[in-house]
Amino acid sequence: MIGLSLAAGCAAALGGCADGGDQAASTTAETTVTVYAAASLTDSFTELGEQYEQAHPGTTVRFSFGGSSGLVSQLQEGAAADVLATADERNMTKAADAGLVDGDPETFARNVLEIVTPPDDPAGIAQPADIARSGVRLVVCAEQVPCGAATRALAGGLGVTLHPVSEENAVTDVLGKVTSGEADAGVVYVTDARGAGDAVREVPIPDDENVTNTYPIARLADAPAGDAADDFIAFVRSDDGQRVLADHGFQRAA
């Protein structure tokens, strides 16, 4: 009878019961944390965002993934966001120098390069220097993108000159050209190669020849989400966050 009495009470005073529910809903805090992140973070940050939302009811994490240089340009043009995570320190410094960053950026991961080919390896890429051979349809990142700068450093260390048929503005686009068969080889991060699974063949680069990029993260000035931006950054750098990143192939920041 208690349940029936309550139902009857609400039925008799429907307006009051409905108003109370609406008021409770209206006072529930809803927060959106907007994160601009390097393309190579797509899979790992998507998973981190899902975990963060589960642990923080009422909070939504929205991502914009792309080349680090392009993300900084968007912010310079007035795009609103709370957190920036780049694939190198150069672009984060550019953002900080432009007054876009609140506080000091913190490193949270490292990444290294790897060569990928289609599964059937049409060009016969057996070692890193093979990507410089004549006739190899090589795709790399553009120089202003962190993976592009790292690729050029790799070529310098190998003592070879690369002749790419295409230069992309995001590492995910390089991977796409390889998986679609438009390229014989591409230089990506090891995390991208791992995420592609059987869609590519991996050609590891020896540690003494490879190039390491350090990933910084920072709260942006005038972040609409306020302290929630700092909380998300803390989660990324926490042990739980680091485990997710490691699962995707990232190395822990020194």
DSSP states along the chain: -HHHHHHHHHHHTHHHHHHHHHHHHHTS--EEEEEEEEGGGHHHHHHHHHHHHHHSTTEEEEEEEE-HHHHHHHHHTT---SEEE-SSHHHHHHHHHTT-EEEEEEEEEEEEEEEEE-TT-TT---SGGGGGSTT--EEEE-TTSHHHHHHHHHHHHHT-----SEEESSHHHHHHHHHTTS-SEEEEEHHHHHHHGGGSEEE---TTT--EEEEEEEEETT-TTTHHHHHHHHHHHSHHHHHHHHHTTPBPP-
Residue 40 is labelled as binding a ligand: yes
> What phi and psi values does residue 33 have, to the nearest 5 degrees?
-105, 115
Q: Distance from CA of residue 3 to its chain's centroid?
A: 50
Widest pairwise Cα distance in the chain: 85
Residue 134 is labelled as binding a ligand: no
Annotated binding site: 40, 68, 171, 189
Annotated binding site for molybdate: 40, 68, 171, 189
